[in-house]
Structure 1
Amino acid sequence: MKNIFLVFAAMLLASGSFAQKAIFYSISFPNANHHEAEIVMTIPEASTLPVKIRMSRSSAGRYATHEFGKNIYNLKAFNVDSSALTIKQLEGDLYEIPEHGPTVKISYTLYANYVDGTYSGIDASHAHLNMPATFIWAVGYEKRPLKFQFADLDQHGWKVATQLKHDGANVYSAPDMQYMMDSPTELSAFKETNWSVTNTDGKPETIRLSTHSDDAQPVVDNFGKMLQKVVLEEKAVYGELPAYDYGEYTFLQDVYPTDSGDGMEHRNSTCIVEAADKVEGNEVRMLSTFSHEYFHSWNVKRIRPKSLEPFNFEHANMSGELWFAEGFTQYYGELLLVRAGFHTPDEYARTMSGLINSVLNTPAAAKYSPVQMSNYAVFADAGVSIDPANKANIFTSYYYYGGATALALDLRLRSEFKLTLDDYMRQVWLDYGKPYIPYTIADLQKSLAKVTNNKIFAADFFKRYILGIEKNNYVDLLNKAGYIMQKTAPGKPWMGAITAKLNNGNVIITGNSIIGTPIYKAGIDVGDILKKMDGKAVDGSEPLASYLEGKKPGDKIVISYQNRTGNHQATITLEENPQMEVVSAEKAGQALTAEQETFRKNWLSSKVK
């Protein structure tokens, strides 16, 4: 009897929580020309305790800290009868309303003038809204449902593109704050095309492309047809589409020269911003971002690292799994464009060159593991700072590090197990993504052991290449597919990359010297002023590479330079550039063997049935 009573009491509490009224936001744009919005937040059934409200300091899909609170002002609070309430500012982005009635209203002005995947941008043509950069929220009320009313749409001629649930008229809703924060919204006179994909379970999923650009409708329709091919190739990797909330997935595309350029994944949508004049003529280049971001609707939004679940909007979110979440996605984003027929095998060779150089020819990859580079995202992922960092020597992008690791694992699975990375991704999807069980690095190792039926291989791979800093043998692996890895500039002299600027007749080095390069070994670094190279004056009239003409690896040149300790000379021994390139056997003048041709075809050909 006691247990029955407890269950009944729990049911009453649960029904009470479901009955909580939604927090309501209205947003209007009376001053859109000057990048402002007016926002009112209404909290019904507020607790009798002081209400704390705040702006976020992080954003879904970004891992560094951002100061969204700097862009709200004119903050005021009222009771339902419009009587003013006292607001105390506790921190830069945190406020408290000590005393209030049962319903609290908060109004503020938002300034938004940065169109990318993290911030918001408003002008007379549109309102591009990333939710953490737009809406203040109530601490402790995160489980409440939320509703949004977008005003002034008819006045501006705008429509609404979003993954939020459409409740009618201009009202949309989210079940809780986590979902709301993951739901970017575009208000504009965008053009749209959509299509239906029948999922493996027989249910249709609608895919929408909304494009705010200066393109005609036929251009958007044609781009949508190209995008359909990518969607189907990605579906083929996992064997099914995710079951999208409300049966829809939306691409929110904004294209204009003053945009910053970005792509940001979300649960049932993705925000893609292009700094271009229009879509027309740029379709294939743009597909790269679409392919990457759409792959995230499986890998990272549902195959979810435990370190990011739930996402914390009060500070940076650190995850040691980004080599997989972002890096494996980077690999597939480009690979699937080959399978879909948009890139050739020779073009893909250039992509592989970049991935491999990121792990074989960067000082950070020689010292740090993919996990350590993933953790550095809290500083590297569009984090804002004004002081210089030694990033070139201590950071290798987890996108490329992970992408190169995915490339090696794919080729090894194909050659050693007659399996593919697709098989592994499907296993991870079934183990952790589809049932939505947040994973750890150990879990990823378990899935590799399961799909290969080889615990020793899985443990060795993770120990050496994920937790460790060893590198795979790319020469042998690529050879199986008829690709050759060779020096980019064999026999050419090299002193290391130097970035410099001309200032009042002085050529000043502006970028850190890279560890291991001849210029680094000579002690020359950022801030030094170059005066002479090989006896010739350095005055900015000639590119620095021209001073090496006629030289060869092993030759020595003298560099005269100046810094705050005086005038100096350094002797540099030129080396051969260590950068590698991948080329097809055919391009190198070699014939493919039958085995290589079959291997490459099985790897790079379409998987759509």
Structure 2
Amino acid sequence: MTKRIFLILAVLWFSHTYAQKINYTLSFPNINHHEASISVTASGIPAGKATFRMSRSSPGRYATHEFGKNVYDVKAFDQTGASIPINRIDGDVYEVPKQNGTVRVDYTLYAAWADGTYSGVDPASIHLNMPSAMMWIKGFDKAPITVTFNIPAGKNWTIATQLKPTDDPLTFTAPGLQYLMDCPTKIGNLHWKKWNITNPDGKGYEFRLALEAETTDTVAGSFAAKIKRLVEEEQAVFGETPAYDYGTYTFIASINLYVEGDGMEHRNSTMISLPFNFTGTNDQLEVFAHEFFHNWNVERIRPKTLEPFNFEKSNMSNELWCAEGFTQYYGELLLCRSGLKPIDGLMGSLTGLIYSKEIAAGAKRYSPVEVSRNAVFVDAGVSIDRTNYPNMYSSYYPYGGATALALDLSLRSKFQLTLDDYMTALWKRFGKTEIAYTVPGLEEVLADVTHDKTFAADFFTRYVNGHESFDYAPLLEKAGLRLKKQNPGKAWLGQVQYEEGTTKISSNTIINTPLYNAGLDFNDVIVQIDSKLVARPADINEIIATHKPGDVINIHYKHRDENKTASLTLAENPGLAVVTFEQAGLPVTNEMKTFRNSWLGTKVNRQ
């Protein structure tokens, strides 16, 4: 091919691509019954067949979903408005067999589940997660997009979104499909609060809270001030906020009884829904701390396994222990640093993290990398059959958080470094450059930060790619914190749940616990222990309380219609608790106070 021909073809290709446009119009004529009428028009596309579809996954969610189930009355039209054929070729895929370069598809969306994954259309407000709402045309991911929202007549509503605004307050744009799908949108009676944050380079960004809640302007303002405090504390970890695409970051928050509980991070915003009455108290801030940390860790410091995001199926990831787990750790830590969570309250959070790594059966058998891969099934995935997750899975949120805690304490004790130093290095290498990372890449950065390849390789071998136990106790003591057994010397049957008011086991029994080793599992009914009849869980607890670990007892149970007897060896309750030395009545040295303040104290000069 000659250079001239190549240039001509390149110009033709560019002109053709540039002419392609996607336009969405959303209207709500049947809002009382949770329906939206949506039109998507594709123009400038090659004549012939065109395929439209609904997504099966959503940014920030890692499991597969069936958004196509809530789409119906699908019709197609040409540029004159004349009806043309459209065929449903799969559950969520529609094909226009023939079109001449412009085609419009209209459909009805039913939306009645307002959270970070799904959508909700209601006379009180409109709540949109784009993958659950927007049908898209295959093959034109880069085409520029315009979205127009037709607000119902008589509604003095405002629109909260990270879509780019235009001169028309009802019309917004996106550079392509990936960005559109990452743009949650809330339309309703919103309390707006705004503030500015400046980075060390002098560039400032506007932060916005768009709050759907029954509250006063004063209380909303006080709540926004707390969020600002969190933003500043999280900025201090990395030294700067990201350069937001259109100069703004938006907290889209619904805190009321009419949404479902969720928090979902996005590139320049987060969608938070809490099904509680709004109080503006600190306990409603935890999800804000977690989701905002994501605008560094996962939105920009991004696993390669999530790039590009596939809307037709879920992306399996090896790195969610870092993307979600480290974020889980920092969400709790930064609340404490911000003064929004007392140190005593943090102890319960640290206990939960350590439990997930040291006690949970899945973490004793599988690595953080391995459990991350299960997100394609567990991250709000929907199934009705029973799984064995209690024995082979530990959530990558607290498991990863426990790994972050282990690394933070190790860096502080061995190198006089911190996890903040490591996260900043990840930001500089992978976040600001937006180069997707892998697990080996994370190890390389740890080696660079510590100047110790042996330490980095050992940590990743044992605690990231492996599942060894970590000795938290001596490192926590440096901060005047004590890791102790919660019920030392107490006999224990195993972690188990019963059907309410009965002794019928409703949960999987856990591997290597007394009940599991004795052969009992879900749906078995415990009838006698130590030849004593039991009818309630309290009866079981009373009998076990008279024994000590190591005692061997007889247990009679019914499996389906068969009466069985087993010999069961009681164990010690493995429960743990993290408490401060003050709570334990132990002296706190100046060295402990210094370590604790360096770890848990604010990093922001608020003078």
TM-score where L is the length of structure 2: 0.96
Deviation for aligned residue 1:509: 1.4
Q: Which residue of 1 aligns with 2:123?
A: 124
Choose the corresponding residue for 1:529, options 525, 528, 542.
Answer: 525
Deviation for aligned residue 1:326: 0.5
Q: Which residue of 2 aligns with 1:372?
A: 370
SS of the aligned residue for 2:499 comes to: strand
Contact 2:48–2:100, Cα closer than 8 Å, also in 1 = no
Q: Which residue of 1 aligns with 2:163?
A: 164
SS of the aligned residue for 1:155 comes to: coil
Q: Which residue of 2 aligns with 1:76?
A: 75
Residues 590-599 or 181-190, more deviating: 590-599
Q: Which residue of 2 aligns with 1:183?
A: 183
Query: How many residues of Structure 1 are paired with residues of Structure 2 in the alignment?
Result: 604
Contact 1:370–1:402, Cα closer than 8 Å, also in 2 = yes
Distance 1:84 1:439 in 2: 47
Deviation sequence 1:406-435 (CA, Å, 0-9, x none): 111111111111111101101010001001
Does residue 403 (structure 1) correspond to residue 397 (structure 2)? The answer is no
Cα distance, 1:516–1:179 mapped onto 2, change above 3 Å:
same
Contact 1:200–1:241, Cα closer than 8 Å, also in 2 = no
Query: Quick one: which amino acid aligns to residue 269 of structure 1?
Result: S
Distance 2:564 2:517 in 1: 15
Query: Quick one: which amino acid aligns to residue 171 of structure 1?
Result: T
Deviation for aligned residue 1:6: 4.0
Residues 430-439 or 553-562, more deviating: 553-562
Q: Which residue of 1 aligns with 2:137?
A: 138
Distance 1:191 1:237 in 2: 29
RMSD: 1.7
Does residue 245 (structure 1) correspond to residue 245 (structure 2)? The answer is yes
Query: Quick one: which amino acid aligns to residue 447 of structure 2?
Result: A
Deviation for aligned residue 1:542: 3.9
Distance 1:77 1:6 in 2: 37
Choose the corresponding residue for 2:427, options 404, 426, 429.
Answer: 429
Distance 1:174 1:153 in 2: 23
Q: Which residue of 2 aligns with 1:264?
A: 264
Map 1:487-526 → 2, pairs under 5 A: 487-502=485-500, 507-526=503-522
Deviation sequence 1:3-57 (CA, Å, 0-9, x none): 577457535533542x324211111111111111111111112321310000000
Distance 1:397 1:578 in 2: 19
Q: Which residue of 1 aligns with 2:410?
A: 412
Deviation for aligned residue 1:330: 0.6
Q: Which residue of 2 aligns with 1:32?
A: 31
Distance 1:409 1:104 in 2: 54
Cα distance, 1:541–1:64 mapped onto 2, change above 3 Å:
closer
Deviation sequence 1:537-579 (CA, Å, 0-9, x none): 3334846433423332233433321122501122322221111
Deviation for aligned residue 1:286: 1.6
Q: Which residue of 2 aligns with 1:587?
A: 583
Does residue 304 (structure 1) correspond to residue 302 (structure 2)? The answer is yes
Deviation for aligned residue 1:318: 0.6
SS of the aligned residue for 1:403 comes to: helix
Deviation for aligned residue 1:122: 1.2
Q: Which residue of 1 aligns with 2:573?
A: 577
Q: Which residue of 2 aligns with 1:361?
A: 359
Query: Quick one: which amino acid aligns to residue 342 of structure 1?
Result: L
Q: Which residue of 2 aligns with 1:215?
A: 215
Map 1:535-550 → 2, pairs under 5 A: 535-540=531-536, 542=538, 544-550=540-546
Map 1:47-62 → 2, pairs under 5 A: 47-62=46-61
Deviation sequence 1:306-352 (CA, Å, 0-9, x none): 11011000001110010110011111000001100012222212111
Contact 1:116–1:260, Cα closer than 8 Å, also in 2 = yes
Distance 1:96 1:596 in 2: 67
Deviation sequence 1:483-502 (CA, Å, 0-9, x none): 11110111222111221114
Residues 225-234 or 534-543, more deviating: 534-543
Structure 1 unpaired stretches of 5+: none
Query: Quick one: which amino acid aligns to residue 519 of structure 1?
Result: L
Map 1:419-458 → 2, pairs under 5 A: 419-458=417-456
Q: Which residue of 1 aligns with 2:288?
A: 290
Distance 1:112 1:539 in 2: 45
Q: Which residue of 2 aligns with 1:152?
A: 151
Cα distance, 1:569–1:471 mapped onto 2, change above 3 Å:
same
Residues 481-490 or 235-244, more deviating: 481-490
Distance 1:398 1:334 in 2: 16
Q: Which residue of 2 aligns with 1:65?
A: 64
Deviation for aligned residue 1:2: 5.3
Residues 559-568 or 209-218, more deviating: 559-568
Contact 1:522–1:572, Cα closer than 8 Å, also in 2 = yes
Contact 2:160–2:186, Cα closer than 8 Å, also in 1 = yes
Deviation for aligned residue 1:364: 1.1
SS of the aligned residue for 1:209 comes to: strand
Distance 2:276 2:38 in 1: 31
Distance 2:534 2:258 in 1: 36
Q: Which residue of 2 aligns with 1:485?
A: 483
Distance 1:455 1:541 in 2: 52
Q: Which residue of 2 aligns with 1:203?
A: 203
Distance 1:142 1:604 in 2: 44
Residues 199-208 or 296-305, more deviating: 199-208
Distance 1:496 1:238 in 2: 43
Residues 407-416 or 528-537, more deviating: 528-537
Distance 2:364 2:195 in 1: 46
Distance 1:550 1:270 in 2: 51
Residues 340-349 or 111-120, more deviating: 340-349
Residues 532-541 or 187-196, more deviating: 532-541
Contact 1:554–1:573, Cα closer than 8 Å, also in 2 = yes
Q: Which residue of 1 aligns with 2:112?
A: 113
Deviation for aligned residue 1:143: 0.8
Contact 1:213–1:279, Cα closer than 8 Å, also in 2 = no
Residues 559-568 or 286-295, more deviating: 559-568
Distance 1:36 1:103 in 2: 26
Q: Which residue of 1 aligns with 2:13?
A: 13
Distance 1:457 1:14 in 2: 50
Deviation for aligned residue 1:261: 0.4
Q: Which residue of 2 aligns with 1:336?
A: 334
Deviation for aligned residue 1:507: 3.8
Distance 1:111 1:344 in 2: 43
Choose the corresponding residue for 1:601, options 597, 601, 604.
Answer: 597
Distance 1:53 1:444 in 2: 38
Deviation for aligned residue 1:462: 1.1
Contact 2:490–2:545, Cα closer than 8 Å, also in 1 = no
Q: Which residue of 2 aligns with 1:472?
A: 470
Distance 1:169 1:351 in 2: 43
Distance 2:404 2:43 in 1: 49
